[in-house]
Amino acid sequence: MAPTPQTGDRPEVAGLGPLALEDCLHEYPGKRRIFRARLADGRVVVAKFYLGRIAQWAEWRRGARGARRLEAAGVPAPALHHAGYCPQYRAWLLVLDLVEADTPWPPPGGDPGHEAHARLLTTLAEHHRAGVVQNDLNWLNFIPRDGKLYAIDGDRVRQRGAALGRRAALRHLQRLYASKTRVPEARIREGFRRYHELRGWDASEAELERFLRALRHARVRHARRVAHRAARGWKHYPRFRSDDLGIIHDRRSITREQAGEIARQLYAAGELPETPANNELRARRIDAPWQTLPALLRPALTRRVARRVWSHALTLRRLGLAVPRPVAVVAADCGMIWLVQEAIPDMHPLTDGGPPPGPEAAETLWAGLRDYGIRFRGRDPRMLGSDGRNLWILDPLPLAFARPRARGFLRAAQHDREWLLRVGEAR
């Protein structure tokens, strides 16, 4: 088995000589290792190792091609010094200039702020004039330096033969805001007008409203696509089995061992283990008619419904709606499902009494659901909770997604509004 590149190694690179690996900046386990490194002449560079001669060849090829495209287009991007095979590790290698941020990055919170937003739009307009389309618009794929944003990842860069026209450019701008679901609408309106100024185009209010309507639909599609991948063990959300229990968890919140312990305790006693770490969590049993099905069908259907619960919770959370952060979902083959969420202070299910949220909270929740084309398939007060100020969705399973402008959806949304106002009133 080939060795893995490690800090302190000095592999020989054709045309560059020895490459001293100093610090591991990032790692995708089993796929990629990215190092801060130093060439023989003292220049500091980034060394990206794509681990796997066959498995990672396509990723390396995309990265090398994208780096060359960015450099050839003349947009701010690190220079590519080497792209080739490193036999010592049986890995593909890219060596690029190191670009270090001179301001805090990425922007904290959901709103990037005026300065970071303006800088990103300027970069996007510059790319579009050069015919460059960066399809991975993650904040971490850009680094601020000397008043510019450097595009440091070319894996998903495409090059057009000419500058992007209005339709293609606005479609890409929509893609940017669809992936940044927490950027507020006021900032998007500002960005729409600013981008048009940078390209020398006129922007009417009617065009802006059409852009916003299409963007809301694009945000739902993007959020559902990401959540669908997360329900199948993608990135931060590994899944595993423990005896007859299927578990998906957010590894940024709890470890695999904690998730397994929580699942076993829920199955045995219906409650979370009594530990200090679990005081900030709440578990909710998901009840549905499939639990009465024959035993042969129950395990597969239970796992399917658990994935839907997890996917819906992540989608609503990504859209900025009032849903407690999901931490884990547990599916037992006998037909039981538990959703584990972060606890909200002073929160209680609506059916448990306590101070009602009032009509303003109901209107706020309804407006968010309506804008994104989300309706209730079942209207049960047990799926809602209140902290006295806001109305929260505790059980995301009875929610359905529709086209926001569809006539049938608008009728259903009006019934949802009436129901929310009724259950949110003082009792």
Q: How far apart are CA 187 and CA 207, in angstroms?
A: 16
Is 222 part of a structural domain of the chain?
Answer: no
Band (pLDDT 50/70/90 cuts) for residue 331 is: very high
What distances in angstroms separate CA 191 from CA 112, 121, 133, 168, 183, one per listed residue? 12, 7, 18, 16, 11
- For residue 426, pLDDT over 60 is answered with no
Q: What angle do CA 359, 364, 370 make, to 5 degrees?
A: 120
Same domain, 245 and 305: yes
Lookup: tokens for 392: 């929260």
Question: Dihedral sign, CA of 244, 249, 254, 257?
Answer: positive
- Say what the pTM is: 0.85
- The pLDDT score that the predictor gives to residue 357 is 83
Q: What's the mean pLDDT in 259-276? A: 90
- The pLDDT score that the predictor gives to residue 312 is 96
Same domain, 264 and 291: yes
Residues of the chain above pLDDT 90, percent: 72
pLDDT of 156-176, one tens digit each?
Answer: 999 998 999 999 999 999 999
DSSP string, 31-99: TEEEEEEE-TTS-EEEEEEEE-TTTTHHHHHHHHHHHHHHHHHTSS-PPEEEEEEETTTTEEEEEEE--
Q: What's the mean pLDDT in 242-251? A: 92
Same domain, 328 and 365: no
Same domain, 245 and 300: yes
Residue 333 and residue 302 in contact, taking contact as beta carbons nearer than 8 Å: yes
Torsion angle of alpha carbons 205, 206, 212, 213, nearest 10°?
160
- Of 342, 370, 399, the residue that ends a domain is 342
pLDDT of 69-121, one tens digit each?
Answer: 999 999 999 999 999 999 999 999 999 999 999 988 888 876 788 889 999 99
- For residue 190, pLDDT over 90 is answered with yes
- Of 97, 126, 143, the residue that ends a domain is 97
pLDDT of 408-419, one tens digit each?
Answer: 899 999 999 999
Phi, psi of 172 (to 5 degrees): -75, -35
Residue 192 and residue 208 in contact, taking contact as beta carbons nearer than 8 Å: yes
Q: How far apart are CA 242 and CA 234, in angstroms?
A: 19
Same domain, 328 and 354: no
Is 208 part of a structural domain of the chain?
Answer: no
Same domain, 326 and 361: no
More confident residue, 407 or 290: 407
Same domain, 121 and 195: yes
Exposure of 159 by Cβ count < 10 A (0-12 exposed, 13-18 middle, 19+ buried)?
A: middle
Residue 32 and residue 57 in contact, taking contact as beta carbons nearer than 8 Å: no
Is 383 part of a structural domain of the chain?
Answer: yes
Q: What's the mean pLDDT in 126-142? A: 93
Is 7 part of a structural domain of the chain?
Answer: no
- The pLDDT score that the predictor gives to residue 335 is 84
- Of 342, 365, 396, the residue that ends a domain is 342
Is 209 part of a structural domain of the chain?
Answer: no
- Domain containing 156 equals 113-203
- For residue 207, pLDDT over 90 is answered with yes
Is 220 part of a structural domain of the chain?
Answer: no
Is 308 part of a structural domain of the chain?
Answer: yes
- The pLDDT score that the predictor gives to residue 407 is 86
- For residue 141, pLDDT over 80 is answered with yes
- The pLDDT score that the predictor gives to residue 350 is 86
Residue 261 CB neighbours (<10 A): 17
Exposure of 412 by Cβ count < 10 A (0-12 exposed, 13-18 middle, 19+ buried)?
A: middle
Phi, psi of 326 (to 5 degrees): -75, 135
Q: Report helix, strand or coil for 141.
A: helix
Q: Give me the CATH number covering residue 80.
A: 3.30.200.20
Q: What's the mean pLDDT in 306-321? A: 94
Same domain, 91 and 184: no
> Beta strand pairing status for 142-145 and 148-151?
antiparallel
Is 102 part of a structural domain of the chain?
Answer: no
Strands, E, within 250-289: which ranges? 281-286
Same domain, 245 and 338: yes
**Into how many domains does the chain fold?**
4
- The pLDDT score that the predictor gives to residue 196 is 97
Average pLDDT, the chain: 91
